[in-house]
Structure 1
Amino acid sequence: MRALLVVLATAFTLLVPAGPASAGTAPDYAEFPYAPTTYAEPFRGQFHFSSQSGWMNDPNGLVFANGLYHFFYQHNPHGLEWDTMHWGHATSPDLVHWTQKPIALEPGVHPGTLFSGGGIVDKFNTSGLKTGALDPIVVFSNTNGVSVFYSNDNGRSFQAYDGGRKQIEIPEESRDPNVVWDADRRQWVMVVWSNRGGNGVDIYTSPNLLQWTFASRYAADWLFECPDLFVLPLDGTPQWVLTSATSEYVVGSFDGTTFRTDRPQPKKMNLGTTFPGGTFYAAESFDNTPDGRVVQMAWQGGNRGGSWTGNATFPVALGLVGSPDGPKITRTPVAELDSLRADTRTWRNTTVTATNNPFAGILADTYEITARFDLRGATAQEFGFALHSRSDGTADRTVTYDRVAGTLYGRPFQPTGDEVSVRLLVDRGQLEVFSGDGLFSVADNVNFDSAAVSQGIRLFANGGTVRLKDAKFTRLSTSWGTAQSTLESNLPGPWHATAGQWTDVAGGKRAQATGDSFYLSASTAGDTTYQGDLRLDTAQAAGLTFRATPEGAGYTANIDAAGVVKLWRPGRDIASYSTPITQGQTYHLTVQTTGSRIQVWLNHGTSPIIDATDTAYSSGRFGANVYRGTATVQNLNTGPSGFAAFASGPWTAVGGTWTATPESLRANASGDAFYLSDRTASDLVYEGDLSIVNGVAAGLTFRAGADGAGYTANIDASGAVKLWRPGRDIATYSTPIVQGRTYHLKVQATGSRIQVWLDRGTSPVIDAADTTYGAGLVGLNVYAGTAAVRQLTIS
């Protein structure tokens, strides 16, 4: 059976053909391919995570970083079966309320085989990969070796370290790297499943996550796929725990190079069906939890709907307890489940018979039950709960303790003293059974019928009676829909729409409206600075709304396809500024309110294009407005922009999408695109900070025409600093250029002489001459990908 399982699992994860059409490109990254959903479909878990759509399997790289839990997972976003693996991504503030995010790792953008792997938060910057204020998230993937990927923007985008080249080469079949911090020796430890003549893990160590040294191997027949290595205390003493995809584990010690255990026979931590596609597989634990807990989630493959396949188990906190058979893992649902609790009913000291059902009259869809039964004096052969029961006596699933067989839910079970306790988590497509203070757990997928006539609960005893010591029923609310998937904003929710349809797309939040439609946050203010990016698709107008009522009545500064930027409130157009507005192009508006004074800036211009007064609204909500058609809004933020630049009028985009985050100006294009100020110059010193997020190149453009034709000095991910103009590469300087890393470029143009400095070096890396352009506009360029720009100066 073991050999058959290995063959089937290997075929499952390695031999399914990949669909090349599912690969992406750098200009389209990060992909958000999900159709809208309310997560209310039949069998869709209401508090168990499932992907918004598509196939999911193994959890990958679970971390707590920069205030959020990040759940990455093996994912085919383009179909309901395993195919061309991506890394899906979701975030949560509390392990309960999950929000789908864009794709994290994408074939065609990130090299290698993007199979299962681990992740950590490099909060001490041991890798040196950190470039901003946020702690880097570093993840590991690939097969027959290990590649490293990292994010400096809290998972919004990932770069491949060293071009995706394997930092560990393993000649044998291998996959599923997992990394943990060894605090005693201040080193990172990696375990990788490999087939060196059989199952087992190769163990590597590293001081910096980038250079790894082979330390040892732990071989075991049971240790197949998706290993996890973590530390749990037992009576105050740290113990190292090594687990496999099939829920088996051993407890031992680690001396910095070698894992050892004096009890090599593995135990099982979950008694679900532990094979690929079963109800518990490939469990992984979170790195860097704020309270030090070891929190685990696993893949449940048996949950399917019309738009998704697979879900994750509810997060549990792991513990260790001693036993005559050695240390054993306990699994307990995380306490954050309390945030979903609604109405509760309790019972105490009640006799259960075949006809006396204390739960009679309760109808419920998603809920939790805890109960304790007294075995002293019990005469019933079996007792338990019939879940989603009906008046005809049928039920979708029963959880039974059989006194004669000694089983709970059909699994061997040893009661604690004279008591049987059960804890049930009942969701629309999931059932999790716990007992024995977490020593017993079973994860299952059940297609529960949510119709009202099928929502009964029957507590039964067959062949006699049993005393119910106490029980609690708690209805659990849905965990979905509390945060934004693609809208980047520092404004707290919940958000609500007053009309129209607002959906998530890769570029932000898209509205479709027949008249005025508002999308409003819960945040309010009077005097403030508020800004955002707006794009008209087919809409007449789109704008920033502020000082608004919950219905949207307040001020709005908008872009209008009629060719104006307008400040208005219900019943009055307060002021307008005439300028061409092109559908399909992104515009940045900034609003500053000080008492009755309202100023509006366009596209990072230095001077306001509107400076007006009005006293109708003194305080209210922030949000966005769309009028008659579709439009997209993004980066709705209070406070300053991350794009600091020299004094200029409004900037003009020539191709591509140019948006502003609190950290930087962000550019995206499939080919060449330019962002041009209204400043012209001949001789100048021009400098700024540039980063290629993903893609090919980003640069400083100068002496350019209105179409961007002029000189550009850029950084190129092929490994060069380049000075070019249309039709000619004037000069290049070969040097490694790492995606995601910030570089400082300085250009000095004096007549025909053009010099370029890199990273504040004392000598130019390029010193060339060209006479094609004598003067022109100053701006920016991005080519075939995404770039970030900061701190532009001219002297």
Structure 2
Amino acid sequence: PTTGPTAARPEFPYQPTTYTEPYRGQFHFSSQGGWMNDPNGLLHYKGTYHFFYQHNPHGLGWDTMHWGHATSTDLVHWTQKPIALEPGVHPGDLWSGAGVVDAANTSGLRDGAEDPLVVFSGTNGVSVFYSTDAGRTFKAYDNGRKVVTMPGTSRDPKVLWHAPTKRWVMLVWSDEGGNGVNLYSSPDLLEWTFLSRYAAGWLFECPDFFALPVDGDRRRTKWVLTDASGEYVVGDFDGTTFTTDWAEPQRMDHGTNHAGGSFYAGQVFNDMPDDRVVQMAWMGGNQGATWTGNASFPAVLGLRTTGDGVRVTRQPIKELEKLRYRTSSWRGRRLTPTTAAKLLRDQSLDTYEVEAEFDVRGATAERFGFKLDVRPGGDAGSEVLYDTRARTLMGAPLEPAGGRVTMRILVDRGQLEVFGNDGLASITRNVSFDPRADSRGVALHVDGGGVRLVSLRIHELAPAWGMGEPTLEHNLPGQWRVVSGSWTDVADGKKGSAGGDAFYLSDHTGADFTYEGDVRLVDGTAAALTFRADPRAERHYTANVDAEAGVVKLWRPGRDIATYRTPITAGRPYHLKVVARGRNIKVYLDDRAEPVIDANDDQYASGRFGLNVFDGTALFQNIRAS
């Protein structure tokens, strides 16, 4: 079979943003720009989590679906990446689907050091796309030929590895004879055999399928089948057929569970590095001037035995703790309407997490909980309340556990997620909290009696943005920071512009090293690699290509150390390599075996790595230090 085309440089159609716009979530992922909906192809590969999603990068409404792409090393700090699947480059309707890591190369698609990342998309049949460069670019398998077709309308393939049968398994939603999923198996991800069909009227689009141990006991593992709305049933899967004795599905989240609502099309990650099952869903009700939609915060799923049977639980992943920077706590308070209203009256919070436990034995309060986004007049943007008579949390059924009710609340600028009794209740909502600085109050609230507060902790959360590079390929740990000039992300890498010197520095430092990268002067005078720099680039070494002087130059403030005369052409990429050992600095051009500069200078012994452009515009890519 032949492959389809792949873009030399995938599209990166985003305007710069600081991610601080009103209503933009600070720890909930949203696309840098454009429309997003369903999570797609969630997977982990070599320390990086890949979050693909349904995307229209050119507008704020649903249209002409692409696959957007973001990556993270911890499921918390996400970095926007170039488009993964693009109409006109990749064939077919690029609608929702799944992704896997073919670590054993069962497909035979590997053509280098990286394992194939294989994703599945399409409508009315399934097409295969794959990456052999760790997700940077994708090709169509066999020009997008449908590897699975079926009668009726179909879409939303989900693929996973089934270890007992040593086969890949695919589920595809279709409306053949009513809602349901077809199950298929494959030894190689490319040739598929029909296994069975599971039909159910409730089962509408975006199916997900995963195994979970009951109460943490892996000897009692069950399979969970879900649909887009978060309805699910629990049963058994023998490698061919899924069976369940449930007459009706349950709901794992009690937000607004429809397309465009606050919880839809949830999907779990494949190829997790641990034994967790982690889910993200589409929250469609959030938007701003340049984006529409966001993802729910990653939640770990479980199965727990209750008085009503086995139920799915959802809880925020532990990595959320990385964002905590200040915690306030209270213990052992008897709350009445008056004392509750006073307890938190000095709190002014932007983005935060609440952990609260209440003892409801002997409680006389009709309702209790929290008011959020409290304004100067006392009005609130949202309420999180437990009803002691109905035994519901924000309308979701929740029985006390040992006479107690716990609440865990994630409060972001346009997102609210609530978890009751360790995830037995999950409520995901989009909100539009007032962005004014005087609208950040939080209050305990009690109606009609009293209740005992066992414990309360409020963790203020730092923003999760700004940790990665969307288009600059590099291997330096830590963040990069603008020191001077204008620096933006474009499809070809990092673009720097300035009328004088502009510096972009990494937090990473070095003393003796090899430092190299591709530099391309678009227009103007010079483009360069900077090293052994201080945080303000007032002291540094810089090796540049200078088109105006026609040289490669090694310099530091106050001294041109050495030059090598050669014509430098704007628009042409040059590979610069610096080898620094003590006071000796060698500069290589375009992978030549011998250095073009071999000089000695002992002004600076160590410092930061960075990029530099002088009096013009330049592009930088493939930056490496060793």
Same fold, judged at TM 0.5 (above): yes
Query: Which of residues 270, 273, 279 is equivalent to 1:287?
Result: 270
* Aligned mates of 1:30, 1:391 — CA distance in 2: 48
Say whether residues 1:387 and 2:372 are aligned partners: yes
After superposition, the CA RMSD in angstroms is 1.5
Say which SS state the counterpart of residue 343 (structure 2) adopts: coil
- The Cα offsets for residues 158-202 of structure 1, whole Å up to 9 and x where unpaired, read as 111112111112232100000111111111110000111110000
Say which SS state the counterpart of residue 373 (structure 1) adopts: strand
- Give 1:137 shift: 1.1
Query: Which of residues 412, 415, 426 is equivalent to 2:400?
Result: 415
* Aligned mates of 2:306, 2:406 — CA distance in 1: 19
* Aligned mates of 2:199, 2:189 — CA distance in 1: 24
- The Cα offsets for residues 358-399 of structure 1, whole Å up to 9 and x where unpaired, read as 212010010011111121222222111110102311011111
**Could you tell me which residue of structure 1 aligns to residue 318 of structure 2?**
335
Structure 1 letter corresponding to 2:155:
R
Give yes or no for contact 2:398–2:424 (8 Å, CA) kept in 1: no
* Aligned mates of 1:406, 1:447 — CA distance in 2: 27
- Give 1:540 shift: 1.6
* Aligned mates of 1:264, 1:558 — CA distance in 2: 71
* Inter-CA distance 83–445: structure 2 relative to 1 (3 Å threshold): same
Say whether residues 1:493 and 2:473 are aligned partners: no
- Give 1:296 shift: 0.2
Say whether residues 1:246 and 2:229 are aligned partners: yes
* Aligned mates of 1:622, 1:143 — CA distance in 2: 47
Query: Which of residues 428, 431, 435 is equivalent to 2:416?
Result: 431
**Could you tell me which residue of structure 2 aligns to residue 139 of structure 1?**
119
Identity of aligned residues (%): 60
- Give 1:573 shift: 0.9
Moved more, 553-562 or 322-331: 322-331
- The Cα offsets for residues 620-670 of structure 1, whole Å up to 9 and x where unpaired, read as 22111111222211111124xxxxxxxxxxxxxxxxxxxxxxxxxxxxxxx
Query: Which of residues 610, 632, 638 is equivalent to 2:625?
Result: 638
Say whether residues 1:544 and 2:529 are aligned partners: yes
* Aligned mates of 2:524, 2:536 — CA distance in 1: 20
Give yes or no for contact 1:29–1:109 (8 Å, CA) kept in 2: no
Give yes or no for contact 1:352–1:358 (8 Å, CA) kept in 2: no
Q: How does 1:608-757 map to 2 (within 5 A)?
A: 608-639=595-626
Say which SS state the counterpart of residue 202 (structure 1) adopts: strand
Structure with the greater alpha carbon radius of gyration = 1
- Give 1:240 shift: 1.1
**Could you tell me which residue of structure 1 aligns to residue 387 of structure 2?**
402
- The Cα offsets for residues 207-237 of structure 1, whole Å up to 9 and x where unpaired, read as 1111110000000001110000111111322
**Could you tell me which residue of structure 2 aligns to residue 96 of structure 1?**
76
Moved more, 268-277 or 617-626: 617-626
Say which SS state the counterpart of residue 540 (structure 1) adopts: strand
- The Cα offsets for residues 388-423 of structure 1, whole Å up to 9 and x where unpaired, read as 102311011111112234332133333224222111
**Could you tell me which residue of structure 2 aligns to residue 444 of structure 1?**
429
Query: Which of residues 179, 195, 199 is equivalent to 1:219?
Result: 199
Query: Which of residues 48, 64, 67 is equivalent to 1:84?
Result: 64
* Aligned mates of 1:501, 1:353 — CA distance in 2: 55
**Could you tell me which residue of structure 2 aligns to residue 556 of structure 1?**
542
Moved more, 101-110 or 558-567: 558-567
Give yes or no for contact 1:205–1:215 (8 Å, CA) kept in 2: yes
Give yes or no for contact 2:397–2:425 (8 Å, CA) kept in 1: no
Q: How does 1:36-55 map to 2 (within 5 A)?
A: 36-55=16-35
Say which SS state the counterpart of residue 118 (structure 2) adopts: strand
- Give 1:327 shift: 1.7
Say whether residues 1:478 and 2:475 are aligned partners: no
**Could you tell me which residue of structure 1 aligns to residue 157 of structure 2?**
177
Give yes or no for contact 2:6–2:137 (8 Å, CA) kept in 1: no
Structure 2 letter corresponding to 1:333:
P
Structure 1 letter corresponding to 2:284:
G
Say which SS state the counterpart of residue 319 (structure 2) adopts: helix
- The Cα offsets for residues 561-603 of structure 1, whole Å up to 9 and x where unpaired, read as 2122111111111111222222222211111223322222222
* Aligned mates of 1:349, 1:25 — CA distance in 2: 64
* Aligned mates of 2:402, 2:580 — CA distance in 1: 68
- The Cα offsets for residues 63-112 of structure 1, whole Å up to 9 and x where unpaired, read as 01111010000000000000110000000011000000000111111111
**Could you tell me which residue of structure 2 aligns to residue 30 of structure 1?**
10
Give yes or no for contact 2:7–2:89 (8 Å, CA) kept in 1: no
Say which SS state the counterpart of residue 83 (structure 1) adopts: coil
Structure 2 letter corresponding to 1:621:
R
* Aligned mates of 2:310, 2:392 — CA distance in 1: 22
* Aligned mates of 1:393, 1:142 — CA distance in 2: 50
**Could you tell me which residue of structure 1 aligns to residue 345 of structure 2?**
360
Structure 1 letter corresponding to 2:430:
N
* Aligned mates of 2:619, 2:283 — CA distance in 1: 36
Runs of 4+ in 1 over 4 A off after TM superposition: 24-28
Give yes or no for contact 1:34–1:77 (8 Å, CA) kept in 2: yes
* Aligned mates of 2:523, 2:478 — CA distance in 1: 27
* Aligned mates of 1:109, 1:530 — CA distance in 2: 34
Say whether residues 1:118 and 2:98 are aligned partners: yes
Query: Which of residues 250, 254, 263 is equivalent to 2:246?
Result: 263
* Aligned mates of 2:155, 2:7 — CA distance in 1: 29
Give yes or no for contact 1:231–1:240 (8 Å, CA) kept in 2: yes
Say whether residues 1:575 and 2:562 are aligned partners: yes
User: How many residues matched?
Assistant: 616
Say which SS state the counterpart of residue 546 (structure 1) adopts: strand
Give yes or no for contact 1:66–1:134 (8 Å, CA) kept in 2: no
- Give 1:557 shift: 0.7
Which consecutive unaligned segments of at least 5 residues does structure 2 have? none
Give yes or no for contact 2:542–2:555 (8 Å, CA) kept in 1: yes
**Could you tell me which residue of structure 2 aligns to residue 351 of structure 1?**
334
Query: Which of residues 205, 208, 228 is equivalent to 2:208?
Result: 228
Give yes or no for contact 2:525–2:546 (8 Å, CA) kept in 1: yes
- Give 1:312 shift: 0.4
TM-score, normalized by length of structure 1? 0.76
- Give 1:308 shift: 0.3
- The Cα offsets for residues 260-311 of structure 1, whole Å up to 9 and x where unpaired, read as 1111411110011111000000000000111111000000000000000000
Say which SS state the counterpart of residue 531 (structure 1) adopts: strand
* Inter-CA distance 439–468: structure 2 relative to 1 (3 Å threshold): same
* Aligned mates of 2:588, 2:405 — CA distance in 1: 68
* Inter-CA distance 232–131: structure 2 relative to 1 (3 Å threshold): same
**Could you tell me which residue of structure 2 aligns to residue 161 of structure 1?**
141
Structure 2 letter corresponding to 1:605:
R
**Could you tell me which residue of structure 1 aligns to residue 261 of structure 2?**
278
Give yes or no for contact 1:227–1:243 (8 Å, CA) kept in 2: yes
Query: Which of residues 144, 158, 170 is equivalent to 1:190?
Result: 170
Give yes or no for contact 2:365–2:447 (8 Å, CA) kept in 1: yes
Structure 1 letter corresponding to 2:414:
G
Say which SS state the counterpart of residue 224 (structure 2) adopts: strand
Structure with bigger RCO (C-alpha 8 Å, 6+ apart): 2
* Aligned mates of 1:594, 1:342 — CA distance in 2: 39
Structure 1 letter corresponding to 2:329:
T
Give yes or no for contact 1:263–1:326 (8 Å, CA) kept in 2: no
* Aligned mates of 2:321, 2:110 — CA distance in 1: 36
- Give 1:508 shift: 0.9
Give yes or no for contact 1:25–1:108 (8 Å, CA) kept in 2: no
Which consecutive unaligned segments of at least 5 residues does structure 1 have? 1-23, 640-795
**Could you tell me which residue of structure 2 aligns to residue 595 of structure 1?**
582
- Give 1:537 shift: 2.1
Give yes or no for contact 1:66–1:135 (8 Å, CA) kept in 2: no
